[in-house]
Chains A and B, each alone.
Chain A
Amino acid sequence: MSWHQPVVKALKANEVRLVTYIPDNVLTPLIDAVHGDSWFRVICPAREEEAVGIVAGAYMAGLRGITLMQTSGFATLPNVLASLVVPYQLPVLMLISERGTLGDHQLGQAVVARTMRPVLQTLGIEHFAIERNEDVEFVVGSMAKQAYATQSPAAIILSPLLTKK
């Protein structure tokens, strides 16, 4: 079973129906799966900040959502995380495919990837990198549950150990 199937299962189990994303090659199987599944409302905006804003607004109005991106996209988010998501206590779920490590060919990706965990730590955002297929459903489901129970954002990182190995 590919890693994207347990992600879909965990999202459904937690009533997550909105998916916003900025395209990423590694995320393609998940993006295709949610596009082909009428459970989900799927939106591809122009920028990761927008994707987060849409999920934030939808949550406040009663619709749970997740936003998908790659590491370089996450690097565009510190201001909106620090001035909207964290202070307003919004459980925005982020699923980030990790580039820039374990064999990336782009120096830019490698440099920007090193900013991700320090930013998440500085903002106090719960984050966990999934490395094994058998952990996907548990980690995605548990992080979603905790985010909604504690009114907090969460960053679910997909390690190349999961998506590339």
Chain B
Amino acid sequence: MNRFDLTKRLVARLKAGEAVIGGIGNTNFDLWAAGQRPENFYMLGSMGLAVPIGLGVALAQPARKVFVLEGDGSLLMQLGSLGTVAAVGPKNLVIIAFDNGMYQITGKQKSLTAGTVDLVATAKGAGLAQSEWATDEAHFERLVDRALGGRGPWFIGAKIDASKPAGVTERDPGLIRRRFMAGILPNS
């Protein structure tokens, strides 16, 4: 599967102002390229913090679904956060892990998921019972639909290819934050 294609499929299914947190690097670049929704937050640094940031948003706004898009390298940096999400148990949080088994942006060095680490098994082991690998694009869409309609937290893993991202996020942190807050806070 391909990250940009899956990101477009996800965004096409978001009809209720769902928040999306795009993890550092190619993950948020493809989210940006898939269309700049006001409810999107793009991480330009703080590798590994997409899940905690998404958890914070989900806690503050329990009526809004929150999607976290993260790469394998980033998630590997903060595996404890999966246990935190399981402990808190936010019904409105969905974590999507794009796994190409490499640090694609720094020169395609292999990550641990190219070897022994299975992110879905790790998520399950952390206590996220509703964790599953998407087997193809149609299955990915069904998993997203199930997460949109049901009680989370959810963890969806997707094995992706090594294609380059379809765009590059505009690098203005202040603007990203203000747009995101205007997009998800009614009175800001």
**Which residue of the partner chain B has the closest CB to A63?**
B60
Give Cα A61–Cα B45 distance, bound, in whole angstroms.
Answer: 19
A88 close to B176 (CB less than 8 A): yes
- Measured CB to CB, the nearest residue on chain B to A18 is B59
What are 22 A-B pairs with beta-carbon distances under 8 A? A45-B81, A45-B84, A47-B78, A47-B81, A49-B48, A50-B84, A53-B51, A57-B21, A57-B52, A57-B56, A57-B57, A59-B60, A60-B53, A60-B177, A62-B185, A63-B60, A79-B45, A80-B46, A82-B45, A83-B46, A87-B174, A88-B177
List residues of B (133-153) whose CB comes within 8 Å of A's CBs.
none
Set A41, A65, A84: member contacting B46, Cβ < 8 A: A84
B185 near A61 (CB under 8 angstroms)?
yes
Known contacts A82-B45, A84-B46; A46 and B80 CB within 8 A of each other: yes
Identify the B interface with A (CB < 8 A). 19, 21, 41, 43-49, 51-61, 64, 78, 80-81, 83-84, 87-88, 173-174, 176-177, 180-181, 184-185
**Interface size grouping (class) on chain A:** 20 to 34
Contact B180–A60 (Cβ < 8 Å):
yes
Answer whether residue A156 sits at the interface, using C-beta atoms and an 8 A cutoff. no
Chain A positions within 8 Å of B53 at CB level: 53-54, 56-57, 60, 84
Chain B residues near A82 (CB, 8 Å)?
Answer: 45
- A61 vs B90: C-alpha distance when bound (angstroms): 15
Set of chain B residues within 8 Å of A90, measured between Cβ atoms: 177
How distant is the Cα of A49 from the Cα of B21 in the complex, in angstroms?
Answer: 17
CA distance A46 to B48 in the complex (A): 13
> Are B80 and A80 touching (Cβ within 8 A)?
no
Quick check: A84 and B80 within 8 Å, CB to CB? no
A58 and B55 alpha carbons, distance in the complex (Å): 8
Say yes or no: A53-B56 contact (C-beta < 8 A), given A43-B88, A60-B184, A79-B45: yes
B185 in contact with A83 (CB, 8 Å) = no
Judged by a CB distance under 8 angstroms, whether A55 is at the interface is yes
A159 CA / B84 CA spacing, docked (Å)? 30
Judge whether B80 and A65 touch: CB under 8 Å.
no
**Is the C-beta of A14 less than 8 angstroms from some C-beta in chain B?**
no
B185 and A50 contacting across the interface, CB-CB below 8 Å: no
Is A89 interfacial (CB-CB < 8 Å)? yes
CB of A132, distance to nearest CB on chain B (Å): 33
Residue on B nearest A47 in the bound complex, by CB: B80
CA distance A47 to B82 in the complex (A): 12
Asked if B52 contacts A53 (CB within 8 A), the reply is yes
Complex contacts, B57 vs chain A, CB 8 Å: 57-58, 60-61
Add 11 more A-B contacts to A45-B52, A53-B52, A56-B56 (CB < 8 A). Answer: A49-B46, A54-B84, A56-B52, A60-B177, A60-B180, A61-B56, A79-B45, A83-B45, A84-B49, A87-B174, A88-B177
